[in-house]
């Protein structure tokens, strides 16, 4: 009888432990938290980039807007290594939303470049701002076209940077290889300083305009930006579909009083492939119906418009597609 009593006591103790751990108790949903009204908010992770760039503060602003205007969602912006890492995070389901440069998104989706033979699964939600390619030199340099870069010292971006990838793609599309130039792997700030000191002849920078590195350089030296010809732009777009024709408008740089013809890549907000359609729809709707609020977060948000939101380099998420069709947008 004593043994039976002990056994009963142990079983009761085990049952009490199961109750305390909440098994079968109908508690919180995985990935969600209880709100004050008793509803469950789904948590989404927004992958951005380093805290010193544009992706992080802009992503933080978008996360706040989505969380504010979609009661069922709570979004958190997280710092990451940037576009390449973000594509992999979405593919693995370790992020729900992410920023990606258009060239990275295109190559990741199609299994090219850094993603050779490893296609990543995700969808685009919309395009945001663009990063035009600046071909920067000095007025006293005999460089008036991109072909004049041959035989010159040219900064092409930091090793492995997005700028370096875009610079190489631009040059190769026009028949220029690193064998034709003396490539210098320099950051924007380093390239600006090198031009100031006459240690290089030109720099290629993929960056939103106005770029602080260009403004800093123009404060002490006479700067010029090189335009691409219509034929050169067509060649680049044909070779690399993620590029599009772009202009650096006259007046963007106070001391560069000309309009510059160039190419740019869009910055895309993407989502994991299995994000529910309704969730994607609500995310996109929250952003585009509260753009003035987003514009207070970062100046580049002024480039985000309904008219330029699509097409977005890779196929749209069905939820995003539904929203834009409701707004009467069409695209190829």
pLDDT (tens digit per residue) in 285-329: 999 999 999 999 988 899 999 999 999 899 999 999 999 999 999
CATH architecture assignment, domain 41-129+267-326: 3-Layer(aba) Sandwich (3.40)
pLDDT of residue 4: 47
Give CATH for domain 131-265.
Answer: 3.40.190.10
Round to whole Å and give the CA distance between 267 and 297: 17
Residue 251 to residue 103: CA distance in whole angstroms: 28
189 pLDDT higher than 60: yes
Phi, psi of 157 (to 5 degrees): 105, 165
| Share of residues in the chain with pLDDT > 90 (%) | 71
According to the model, what pLDDT value does residue 65 have?
98
The predicted structure's pLDDT at residue 27 = 30
Three-class DSSP category at 129 = strand
User: Domain locations in the chain?
Assistant: 41-129+267-326, 131-265
Output the furthest CA–CA distance in the chain (Å, rounded): 103
* 115 pLDDT above the threshold of 80: yes
The model's pLDDT over 125-181, given as tens digits with 9 standing for 90+, comes to 999 999 899 999 999 999 999 999 999 999 998 876 778 889 999 999 999 999 999
Tokens 């930091």 sit on residue: 158
| Model pLDDT, residue 84 | 86
pLDDT band at 20 (very low <50, low <70, confident <90, very high): very low
What is the predicted pLDDT for the residue at 158? Answer: 84
Q: What is the mean pLDDT of residues 215-222?
A: 94
CA distance 174 to 73: 46
Output the pLDDT for position 6.
46
Integer Cα distance of 183 and 167 in angstroms: 10
CA distances in angstroms from 328 to 12, 143, 313, listed in the order given: 64, 45, 20
Is pLDDT of 17 > 50?
Answer: no
The DSSP line for 72-119 is TEEEEEE--S-HHHHHHHHHHTS-SEEEEEHHHHHHHHHT-GGGTT-P
Mean predicted confidence (pLDDT) in 8-37 = 40
Supply the pLDDT for residue 230. 97
Q: Give the residue-averaged pLDDT of 239-266.
A: 92
Q: What pTM was estimated for this model as a whole?
A: 0.73
In this prediction, residue 25 carries a pLDDT of: 27
Tokens 């870069």 belong to residue: 149
Torsional sign, CA 23, 24, 25, 28: positive
What average pLDDT does the structure give for the chain? Answer: 87
CA angle 16, 22, 23 (to 5 degrees): 90
Specify the pLDDT at position 160. Answer: 66
Same fold? 41-129+267-326, 131-265: yes
């Amino acid at each position: 009888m004593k043994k039976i009593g002990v056994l009963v006591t142990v079983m009761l103790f085990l049952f009490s432990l199961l109750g305390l751990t909440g098994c079968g108790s109908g508690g919180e949903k995985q990935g969600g938290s209880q709100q004050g009204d008793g509803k469950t908010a789904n948590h989404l992770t927004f992958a951005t980039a380093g805290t010193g760039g544009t992706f992080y503060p802009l992503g933080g602003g978008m996360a706040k807007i989505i969380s504010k205007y979609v009661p069922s969602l709570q979004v958190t912006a997280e710092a990451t290594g940037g576009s390449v890492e973000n594509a992999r995070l979405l593919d693995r389901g370790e992020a729900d939303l992410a920023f990606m440069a258009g060239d990275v998104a295109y190559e990741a989706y199609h299994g090219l470049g850094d993603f050779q033979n490893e296609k990543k699964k995700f969808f685009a939600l919309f395009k945001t701002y663009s990063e035009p390619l600046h071909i920067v030199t000095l007025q006293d340099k005999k460089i008036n076209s991109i072909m004049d870069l041959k035989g010159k010292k040219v900064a092409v971006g930091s090793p492995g940077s997005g700028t370096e990838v875009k610079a190489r793609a631009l040059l190769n599309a026009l028949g220029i290889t690193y064998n034709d130039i003396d490539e210098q792997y320099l950051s924007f700030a380093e390239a600006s300083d090198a031009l100031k000191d006459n240690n290089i002849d030109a720099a290629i920078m993929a960056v939103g305009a106005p770029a602080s590195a260009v403004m800093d350089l123009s404060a002490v030296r006479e700067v010029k930006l090189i335009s691409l010809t219509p034929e050169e732009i067509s060649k680049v777009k044909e070779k690399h579909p993620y590029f599009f024709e772009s202009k650096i408008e006259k007046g963007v740089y106070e001391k560069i009083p000309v309009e510059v013809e160039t190419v740019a890549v869009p910055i895309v907000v993407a989502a994991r492939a299995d994000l529910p359609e309704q969730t994607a729809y609500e995310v996109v709707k929250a952003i585009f119906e509260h753009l003035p609020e987003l514009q207070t977060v970062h100046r580049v948000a002024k480039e985000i418009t309904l008219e330029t939101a699509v097409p977005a380099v890779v196929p749209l998420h069905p939820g995003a597609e539904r929203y834009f069709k409701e707004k009467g947008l069409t695209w190829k």
